[in-house]
Amino acid sequence: MSRDRLADASASVDENRRQVLKGLGLAAFGCPFAGAAAQAATAPARHMTDAPVANVASAEDRVPFFGKHQAGITTPRPANGMIAAFDVIAETPDDLEALLKLITNRIAFLTEGGTLPELDPRLPPADSGIVGPVVKPDALTITVSLGSSLFDGREWLKPLKPRHLSRMKKFPNDALDAALCHGDITIQICANTQDTTIHALRDIIKNTSRHLTLKWKQEGNVPVILPPLGGVAESARNYLGFRDGTANPDSGDEAVMERVVWVGAGRGEPEWAVGGAYQAVRIIRNFVERWDRTPLKEQERIFGRTKMGGAPLDKPEAGEFATPDYAADPEGKLTPLDSHIRLANDRTPAAAENTILRRPFNYSNGVTKSGQLDQGLLFICYQGDLEKGFITVQRRLDGEPLEEYIKPIGGGYFYTLPGVRDASDYLGSTLIAAVRKAP
């Protein structure tokens, strides 16, 4: 390639990165391109989904840990994600407080990055060492949520349980494996690279071994998609080959997130829970061999969208982000009434009450005992009301034609703690204060 063409190509890559960074709001993330991104303010805005643009992949990318809400929910979804569920050994408020402070300290360090201390070599090293002597932030977020069992198993916590937090019950198509369900606490770990998520998990397991036992974990990833120059990003595809995330609410719109995701004051939740959110996790196996033998037209009718472009079936040429008009198709001739998107959201004003923010990852676990690919979706969604959100939407989806190709096998419901305000605060501080205040 000539020097000029090389320079052109590199300028175009830089421009792509600027567009992505601008769309992702990375100006605040200490990103080296942040200044350039701010200058590109006149460029057309990218459509914000739940952050399908996975990875502009610099190990220096930093997502702020401190804030009103935890990171890893409305912050951009990077290429790698994991849910790890633990049981908590702590039996007293003091033990739980110690655990929460310890986790907070580890997350603050891992998400900020830094040089590892060198210890006396006769002792175990300070760190697993898998990312070397300097830990880079790598867009790491670690999001901590509490399960119903943590509250149910402790008299002093019972009265403080969030109103809708319950043990996930089986839906008709579920084949739940007890070894992949529930837990006292989940840690969602997301980062640009898998090394970083695994490093973070190993760090937390090592440092909290007195307080936590690992119950299950599921890792996943999403494809990296850069938007075309001046264009809009397409949503990443799931392992059924469809774009996933298209109709998500705009995670960059704070007013929308206040309405959809965050628990606010006066919503009937305990005061300590304000600033948190409900997390629903589902490990959903996909029968990919059967799906790959299914005619394209049928696949598209099952989802209600075109496979390649992701457009709604009533506007196949209009692009991924066109809004379907179900009122003009009352019998479902274009978009079947039992298609996934029409059942999940019939686009009536009432259905707006059931909006959720999806943040899923694809998983690929190897081969089943019967010689099939063990692939699927690590479905994660957040909402301010679990009953109105995930549970209502899932009830609507019960019996959908997609069920022939999917099998939910694990997961659970959790309450994501409010954020950590600053270095003097810790995860769950409002809960511990409420425990101490209780009669």
Ligand X SMILES: C=CC1=C(C)c2cc3[nH]c(cc4nc(cc5[nH]c(cc1n2)c(C)c5CCC(=O)O)C(CCC(=O)O)=C4C)c(C)c3C=C
> Which residues make up the interface to ligand X (CB under 6 A)?
238, 240, 242-247, 282, 284, 286, 303, 305, 340-341, 344-345, 356, 377, 379, 390, 393-394, 397, 406
Is 345 assigned a ligand-binding role in the annotation?
yes
87 annotated to a ligand binding site: no
The contacts of residue 29 (CB under 8 Å, 6+ apart) are 61, 62, 63, 64, 139
Q: Which of 372, 377, 429 is nearest to 402 (CA)?
A: 377
**Residue 192 assigned ligand-binding role:** no
340 is in an annotated binding site: yes
Contact (Cβ atoms closer than 8 angstroms) between residue 237 and residue 224: no
The CB-of-365 to ligand X minimum distance in angstroms stands at: 14
Q: Least distance from C-beta 333 to ligand X, angstroms?
A: 18
Give 269 or 400: the residue with its C-beta nearer to ligand X: 400
- Minimum gap (Å) between residue 407 Cβ and ligand X: 9
Q: How far is the CB of 56 from ligand X (least distance, A)?
A: 22
Q: Which is nearer to ligand X, 74 or 193 (CB)?
A: 74
SS3 204: helix
Residues in the chain: 439
Nearest distance, CB of residue 5 and ligand X, angstroms:
37
Closest approach of ligand X to the CB of residue 242, in Å: 4
In angstroms, give the least distance from the CB of 218 to ligand X: 13
246 marked among binding-site residues: yes
Euclidean distance between CA atoms 347 and 351, whole angstroms: 6
Q: What is the CA radius of gyration of the chain?
A: 22
Q: Which is nearer to ligand X, 262 or 291 (CB)?
A: 291
Q: State how beta strands 361-367 and 277-286 pair.
A: unpaired
Known binder of ligand: residue 358? yes
311 vs 431, beta carbon nearer ligand X: 311
Q: Is 395 annotated as a binding residue?
A: no
CA-based nearest residue to 192, from 229, 232, 222, 234 = 222
Instruction: Report which secondary-structure segment, H or E, holds 297.
Output: helix 296-303
DSSP structural state of residue 387: I
Task: Count other Cβ atoms within 10 Å, centred on residue 213.
Answer: 13
CB of 147 to ligand X, least distance (A): 19
Residue 247, annotated ligand binder?
Answer: yes
Q: Which of 216, 176, 228, 173 is nearest to 16 (CA)?
A: 228
| Strand spans (E) along 112-245 | 114-115, 134-135, 141-147, 185-191, 212-221
Q: Which of 177, 149, 176 is nearest to 161 (CA)?
A: 149
Residue 242 or 262: which CB sits closer to ligand X?
242
DSSP state of 177: -
CA dihedral for 375, 300, 393, 276, sign (positive or negative): positive
Instruction: State which residue, 30 or 241, has the beta carbon closest to ligand X.
Output: 241
Q: How far apart are CA 387 and CA 366, in angstroms?
A: 34
CA 162 to chain centre: 20
Cβ atoms within 10 Å of 86's Cβ, excluding its own:
23
Extract the runs of DSSP E, i.e. beta strands, from 19-159: 80-88, 114-115, 134-135, 141-147
Q: Are 86 and 215 in contact (CB under 8 A)?
A: yes
Question: Closest distance between ligand X and the C-beta of residue 368, in Å?
Answer: 16
Annotated binding site: 245-247, 305, 340, 345-347, 358
Annotated binding site for protoporphyrin IX: 245-247, 305
